[in-house]
Amino acid sequence: MDEISTNSTEGYSQGTGTHSQDSSGASSVNYDAVNVVAVAGNGALDRIESLLEAIVDAVTTGNEIMIPYRTVRASRPGRSQGPPAARQAGVVRFPGRTIQEAKKFEALLCIIELSHEALLSGMLITKRNIYYQSPDLFGSQVAVDVMVDNLAFTLGVGRGDLNIVATAKGLISGPIMLISRDGSVIDCGLSHSTGILLPSTSEIRSIGFHEVQWILVIEKEATFRTLAAAQYAKNSRAGHGILITAKGFPDLATRRFLSLVHSMRPSLVIFGLADFDPDGISIVRTYQNGSRRLEHENEATVPSLCWLGVKSRDLLSSWQSPAVDDEEDQELHGTTGGESPQLVENSDHQRPAKRPRLSDFRNPSDKVSSLTLRDRKKAGDILRAISSVELPSGGGLEHAQELQRMLMLNIKAEIQAVDSYGDLSTWLDDNLCARMHAD
C-alpha cells in the first residue's frame, strides 16, 4: 500500500493492501484500499502568518492592534445585506474599548498561536486541550468552541484546516480498516460490542473497504452497541456493512468522515436510522445538508444519504396496505392550511372518516408517545426551513410530509418501536435489502 500522508480530506487514489491477523501470516484478509490525497491546509497557515505579521507591524508602528473576527451567526441570511465578500468584517481590538474586548483579544490570539504551532508541527490539537491551556482566560469550553468556529469562518477555512479538532465522539464498527498517517492500522471489526472511536479525517492516510456494501448511520448509541454486539455489520442479509453513530446530534468529525468515505466510494449506499420525531429528522437533514452554525465547513455533508427510517408507515400496524398511505395523504392535504402545496402529496380520494389512533401503532404504550410543545415548535422550524428552499429536493419533500403526519397524528416514536422483541435485525434486513435492490 503506497504511503500518502494528508492534512486534509480532498481527493483519493486507488491502492491495495493486505492485513495479517497474526505474525505468522497464517490467516489474512485482503482489503481494497483507497488512499487519501494530501491537500495542505487550504492556505490556513499562510493566512494565520499574515495575521501574526500584521499584529507585529501594528506593535512596531504603535498603531491599534486588530484581529479580523466575523461570527457565523451574524453572517446568516436575513441578518446582513449583500454577499459575504461585500459585508464589513468585524474586528477585535487591543487594548480595546472595554475590559471584555481586551480579554477576548487575548483569548483569540492564544487560539491563533496554538493553531499556528499545530500547523507547523503537523500535529492536531483538540478544543478541549485549548481550553485547559488557560481555563481562567477562556471561561468555558463553549467559549472556545465558538471562537474556534468563528476564527475558521473569518479565515475562510474549515476547523480541521486549522489542525484543531473536537474530542473524539463518533463510533464505528464493521469490516473496514483505517490506516493512519503514522502507519498504524485500526481494524474496526475487532471491537464488536463497544465500537471504535472515529479518528479525525486528517489523521487517515487510507481506508481498506474489504467487501463493504452499505453504511448505516444510527442516531442512538444504545442501538449502535446492540447491533455491533450482534455483529450485524457482518451478518446482515444485505451483505457486509459499516455501523456508525455520533451518539445523537452529528458532530463535525463524524460528518467529515462520512463525506470522505462518500468521495472515495460514491457507489457505497449510506443510510440514516433515527427516531420518528422532529429531532430525528433534524439529525438526518444535518448529515445530508450540514448545519447553519457550521455552514462554512466544506466536505462535511452527504446529500445522497438515504433516510431508512423510522417513518410513519413503519409504525402503523397495517402500513403495508396502499390504502392507508392514500388516506394519510388525503387527510394531510385537507389539514395543511397555508402550507406550501409543494410539501404535500396530491390525492383524489375522499377524506377518510377518521384518522389512525395511538392504539393503531405498534407498541404504543412505551415506544410511541405524544408530541411535546417543544417537538411541535421544532417541527415547525424544520418545515419553514424546507419551505424557504426555492426547489426543495425529494428528500426535503419527504421530510415535510413525515413532519406533517407527526403534527396531524400528534405522535412520535423511538427506533425500538419497529423492533421485534428487542431484535431490530429483521426490520433492518427487510428495509436495507429493499432499498438497495430498488437503487
Catalytically annotated residues: 132
Q: Given the DSSP bridges, would you call strands 65-68 and 91-94 parallel, antiparallel or unpaired?
A: antiparallel
Of 140, 161, 178, 276, the C-alpha closest to 219 is 276
DSSP string, 229-262: HTTHHHH-TT-SEEEEE-SSSPPHHHHHHHHHHH
Of 304, 393, 382, the C-alpha closest to 342 is 393
Look-up: residue for cell 392507508? 324
278 within 8 A of 406, measured Cβ to Cβ: yes
Q: Measuring CA to CA, how many Å separate 179 from each of 17, 29, 79, 193?
A: 10, 15, 44, 22
Of 103, 112, 115, 169, the C-alpha closest to 140 is 103
**In terms of C-beta density within 10 A (0-12 exposed, 13-18 middle, 19 or more buried), how is residue 19 classed?**
middle
Q: For residue 95, is the peptide bond before it cis, meaning its omega torsion is within 30 degrees of 0?
A: yes
* Residue 275 CB partners (closer than 8 Å, separation 6+): 219, 220, 310, 412, 413, 414, 415
| CA 294, 299, 303, 309 torsion-angle sign | negative
